[in-house]
Amino acid sequence: MTATTHVFRVDGMHCGSCALLIDDTLEDLPGVHDTRTTVKTGRATVELDLTRSSPEDVIAAISDIGYQASLES
């Protein structure tokens, strides 16, 4: 298993509860080892095992709960 770190821009967050909801959602994805979502920066940093989930899976999960996300790095 090789985990890589990806940063996603997340639009639509307004408070800490938004960030917590995103982190909780992403932690349920297979292969996600760590998430850090920050409202102030509008970013979610995700440590991801690419053999189990892809950045596109992360974007889809964020979109499914009502936010817009795009991959930064």
Average pLDDT over residues 6-23: 97
pTM confidence score: 0.93
Counting other chains too, the contacts that 33-36 makes at CB distance below 8 Å and 24 or more residues apart are 33/3
pLDDT score of 1 more than 70: no
Answer yes or no: is pLDDT of 73 > 80. no
Domain ranges (residues) in the chain: 3-71
Lookup: tokens for 70:
């795009």
CATH of domain 3-71: 3.30.70.100
State the average pLDDT for the chain.
95
Task: Please state the rounded mean pLDDT for residues 54-68.
Answer: 97
